[in-house]
Structure 1
Amino acid sequence: MSTAAPATPTWQRVTQHRLFWPVVALVALFVANTIANPGFLSLRLQDGHLFGALINLLRGGSPLLLIALGMTLVIATRGIDLSVGAVVAISGAVALSFIASSSDPSSVTTVLVAIGIALALSLVLGVWNGFLVSVVGIQPIIATLVLMTAGRGVAMLITGGQITTVNSAPFKTLGSGFWLGLPVAVFVAGGVFALVAFLTRRTALGMLIESVGINPEASRLAGVKSRSIIWTVYAVCGLFAGLGGLIISSNVMAADANNAGLFIELDAILAVVIGGTSLSGGKFSLAGTLVGVLIIQTLTVTVTMLGISPSVTPLFKAIVVIAVCLAQSPKIRDAVAARRRRAARTSQAAEVAA
């Protein structure tokens, strides 16, 4: 008579979850910041708005979350998009140049038109990347490297090689405004996150994206339009990068073609990897991406709060990424599980001998 396998302990199921170690890393960062600054978790209400380090963290991480969401979908299809930083610069340059050249920069209509043009151009750039990858068949890293290299030059042409600044209250609201006590940028990023989560987890879209990432040829033979899926995720990634660029430029009210979104593509990729999404495609985790973004942003805030030079920030990011990735490594997990099984067998043998 066969006996049922013993149930896996709850603690073991928790520790084996893909988000366990990223969440542990995030909690450890929060604890370290609270020890260094006891007021880190405190919030204060001023003029009907919430202020504090956590609010700054959420607002500062909103553009990265938008870009990382698009990157998650692209990576799920076995792709990569290195051009999102350039799209950030182009989006901000287009919007601020249009507002600066208008007769009424403070007009809501002017700002809405500027945002619309910037997002439309960002979408077109994403479609271009998708065309190169899905239709022409160029490797994603090469296809997006083209725009990454040329994009900032395009932004420089748009701004005339100068840092474009504007004074527009409606546009400033996007990056620095508040609504219902919270930053508008948080609502924008949260709304996009909820929409993407609904479309990928409550419809068949998420399954189709994962199937393309696992085996594009098999998906095509099964009737999945893999070319359309890949084209779509690159277009969406470009659109989200453009929206993130608008928030970044709105926060400083300036378009700096050289520095806007610089290396943000690397932060987005790190956030996705920390969140447990494999670079080989297939299964992806939006919740993991959110945790990864919070880890990256908390590291940035921590370095600033401790008075450490920002140039050292990449070192801290590398340490955390290596630690989390090692903890998530299948080989290390298997080794730990094997060690636990050996310990359990030894314990059972000792009990029988006694």
Structure 2
Amino acid sequence: MNRMTVFVKKLTGTRLFLPLFCLVLVLLSNLIKTPTFFQVTIKNGVLYGYIIDVINRASDLVILAVGMTMVVAASGGTDISVGAVMSVAGAVCCYILAGGQQTVNEFQNPYLLGVAAAVLAGILCGCFNGYLVAKMKIQPMVATLILFTAGRGIAQLITRGQITYIRVESYKMLGASIPGIPVPTPVFVALLVVVLTYVLLKKTTLGLYVQTVGINSRASRLMGIKSTMIIFLSYAFCGLCAGVSGLVASSRIYSADANNIGLNLELDAILAVALGGNSLGGGKFSLLGSVIGAYTIQALSTTLYAMGVSPDQIPVYKAVVVVIIVALQSTELKKMAKKFQTGYKAGKKVA
């Protein structure tokens, strides 16, 4: 019995327990209302099903959450411009591939050129935010509010206020699937981003530097760490992630829709970091926790759709569930529960 108690305490004490528990809870809730939620079928050589939809649709958010985790950990702030940066990246890519035309049936320029330009645009946006935060010492939310406001306008200028369509099958593969491979391509893109970032943070000192700067930037400078550069690179990396996510989102709809690509995803990315058990005040972080948080958000949205909840009502239900999940991870709630447990045991002994 003592061994079991020790095992349970160790299990519940791990950092990823609550994020994983919340994800499993959301998924299992479908067994009551939507028994077919976990059914997977193959149509035209591609996997289909609610659970596949969760994994697929969460890919954009997972990529954003990875970049947002770095920003939050290093600067103790958030980048609210990532959705708009996605739109800019998609617009740049489609504009180059379309050669300035509104609709094309074949690439006017090399595909890799469009992809490289989109990623570069994302990095430049991240560098702009990083310069304002790291060098100019502007509050992260205020600094990133500039691109949050102007980003979609920039995308509109690039596409001349119109939706640019790329009706080329090879362009759709990044957001759909590759012939002969049943798993949607965005899943592989998200996995690649997560693995490369995880290896970069664990196999180099960058992860330690980010945590150190996030905990105390002044102390880190005394230790010889260039905190300004670490924060700047974190925002540049977040811009890179937003650029990649924008490419995936644009490929899904084979077009550049400046008004809708990445719309409100910045809020979900911040929420994913919080649901993953990360402190929004900076410092120690869990990359895998943020990834789990992203899948939890998408699982919740897909679950509500599967239960027949109308799109207009989903934000309300989503907000209620999110508040409950965040409250479960609150340190204050844990302290209250511990005090209650101590008081209950004391009262029991007196009785």
Cross-structure match for 1:331: 332
Q: How much does 1:238 deviate?
A: 0.4
- Preserved CA contact (<8 Å) 1:85 1:262: yes
Aligned length: 345
Q: How much does 1:336 deviate?
A: 1.4
Q: Does 1:17 align with 2:18?
A: no
Q: Runs of 4+ in structure 1 displaced over 6 angstroms? A: none
One-letter amino acid of the structure 2 residue matched with residue 20 of structure 1? F
Q: How much does 1:344 deviate?
A: 4.3
Cross-structure match for 2:67: 70
TM-score (norm 2): 0.92
One-letter amino acid of the structure 2 residue matched with residue 321 of structure 1? V
Task: Rate the CA distance shift 1:102–1:93 in 2: closer, same or farther, 3 A.
Answer: closer
Q: How much does 1:107 deviate?
A: 5.0
Q: How much does 1:82 deviate?
A: 0.8
- Preserved CA contact (<8 Å) 2:46 2:181: yes
Deviation track 1:53-73 (CA, whole Å, cap 9, x = no partner) reads 121111111011101110001
2-structure distance, mates of 1:143, 1:11: 44
2-structure distance, mates of 1:108, 1:175: 20
One-letter amino acid of the structure 2 residue matched with residue 301 of structure 1? T
Cross-structure match for 2:124: 124
Alignment map for 1:105-184 (pairs within 5 Å): 106-107=106-107, 110-178=110-178, 180-184=181-185
- Preserved CA contact (<8 Å) 1:18 1:328: no
Deviation track 1:215-239 (CA, whole Å, cap 9, x = no partner) reads 0000011111111110101000001
Q: Does 1:248 align with 2:246?
A: no
Greater shift, 268-277 or 40-49, is seen at: 40-49
Flag structure 1 segments of 5+ consecutive residues without an equivalent.
1-5
Task: Rate the CA distance shift 1:163–1:126 in 2: closer, same or farther, 3 A.
Answer: same
Aligned with residue 43 of structure 1, among 35, 40, 44: 40
Task: Rate the CA distance shift 1:207–1:169 in 2: closer, same or farther, 3 A.
Answer: same
Deviation track 1:107-140 (CA, whole Å, cap 9, x = no partner) reads 5972211111111111111111111111111111
Greater shift, 341-350 or 91-100, is seen at: 341-350
2-structure distance, mates of 1:234, 1:161: 28
- Preserved CA contact (<8 Å) 2:174 2:248: yes
Deviation track 1:320-349 (CA, whole Å, cap 9, x = no partner) reads 221122111111111212333344455667
- Preserved CA contact (<8 Å) 1:299 1:313: no
Greater shift, 116-125 or 308-317, is seen at: 308-317
Alignment map for 1:1-354 (pairs within 5 Å): 9-77=6-74, 78-101=76-99, 106-107=106-107, 110-178=110-178, 180-345=181-346
2-structure distance, mates of 1:278, 1:316: 24
One-letter amino acid of the structure 2 residue matched with residue 86 of structure 1? A
Deviation track 1:37-64 (CA, whole Å, cap 9, x = no partner) reads 2221122234443222121111111011
Q: How much does 1:311 deviate?
A: 2.3
- Preserved CA contact (<8 Å) 2:97 2:109: no
2-structure distance, mates of 1:313, 1:22: 21
2-structure distance, mates of 1:16, 1:345: 24
CA RMSD of aligned residues (A): 2.2
Deviation track 1:158-177 (CA, whole Å, cap 9, x = no partner) reads 11111211201111000011
Task: Rate the CA distance shift 1:17–1:340 in 2: closer, same or farther, 3 A.
Answer: farther
Task: Rate the CA distance shift 1:13–1:108 in 2: closer, same or farther, 3 A.
Answer: farther
- Preserved CA contact (<8 Å) 1:89 1:245: yes
One-letter amino acid of the structure 2 residue matched with residue 135 of structure 1? K
1-structure distance, mates of 2:206, 2:312: 40
- Preserved CA contact (<8 Å) 1:102 1:110: no
Deviation track 1:139-187 (CA, whole Å, cap 9, x = no partner) reads 1111110111111110110111112112011110000113642111100
Identity of aligned residues (%): 41
- Preserved CA contact (<8 Å) 2:97 2:108: no
One-letter amino acid of the structure 1 residue matched with residue 79 of structure 2? D
Cross-structure match for 1:3: none
- Preserved CA contact (<8 Å) 1:64 1:267: yes
Q: How much does 1:214 deviate?
A: 0.4
Deviation track 1:236-290 (CA, whole Å, cap 9, x = no partner) reads 0001001101111110112111121111100000010011111110111111111
